[in-house]
Amino acid sequence: MYMTYNHRLTYKKPREPEPPKPLTPYEANRAPAQVNLRPRAKAITYATIPKLESIIIHSMVKEAITNKQQLLNVIMALRAITGEAPGGGGRDASTGVQVVRAKQGAAAWKLREGMPVAAKVELKGDAMYDFVQSLVDFVLPRLREYPGVPIAPVSGSHLKSNMIGSVVSFGLPPIAMGLFPQIEGNIDAYPRLHGFHMYFKTNMKGEHAEMWARNLLTGFRVPFYRQ
């Protein structure tokens, strides 16, 4: 068989190149366009895996402008939800619930610079993941007619600060605070509930950082929907 085998039978003549297409009047006197095919996002490697660095929970109380004691209720609620206290758990970096003061005054709202108007707490480490678990297991599924975290439309601006800084932020109404197990079990101790805003900070930077941060929160079962 090998003595009668002819290699030339399997040889294929190379195809002749096709003649160039005639140029249109628009292309005749112009240089060919340079196409820059950039990837839409960076490749994920072991060094660029999206990670959650911290969560900041912020709640503003308008009534504190006239009576700063109104902040006590939201301070105790945030402390119960997060379990954070200054130096709690032997962590020197734990600052607990902090009082936020106005950076500048506003005469129309009778607001003066330095007045306490809100409370916030920053979560890191295990406390951060415990909060996310309570949020997705007990709070979000029980909010009636809650579609999820809104996403800007495709035609929206891609130069927002939260997109560049890889921060995903959204707020929840006052009823959501009462759905946390730490509050629901002793709801009578909190005569008034307050809405709050959450900021999820990740380690992603640069272009498409918010997309990766959003994918990370989707893995934590946080729902999203496009407006």
Distances (CA, A) of 109 to 5, 51, 70, 113, 214: 96, 40, 17, 12, 36
Tell me the pairing of strands 149-151 and 224-226: parallel
Q: Name, in order, each residue with C-beta under 8 angstroms of 30's C-beta and a sequence gap of 6 or more.
A: none
Q: Give the count of beta carbons closer than 10 Å to the beta carbon of residue 207.
A: 14
β-pair partners for 116: 101
In order along its 227 residues, the chain shows pLDDT tens digits of 556 656 566 566 777 777 777 666 656 666 665 555 455 556 667 667 889 999 999 998 888 877 888 888 899 999 999 988 776 555 565 678 888 888 777 776 677 787 788 899 999 888 899 999 999 999 999 998 888 888 877 655 544 444 445 889 999 999 999 999 999 888 888 888 899 999 999 988 877 788 888 889 999 999 988 87
Q: What is the CA radius of gyration of the chain?
A: 29
Distance, in Å, from the CA atom of 175 to the CA atom of 170, rounded to the nearest integer, reads 15
How many residues are recorded in the chain? 227
pTM above 0.85, yes or no: no
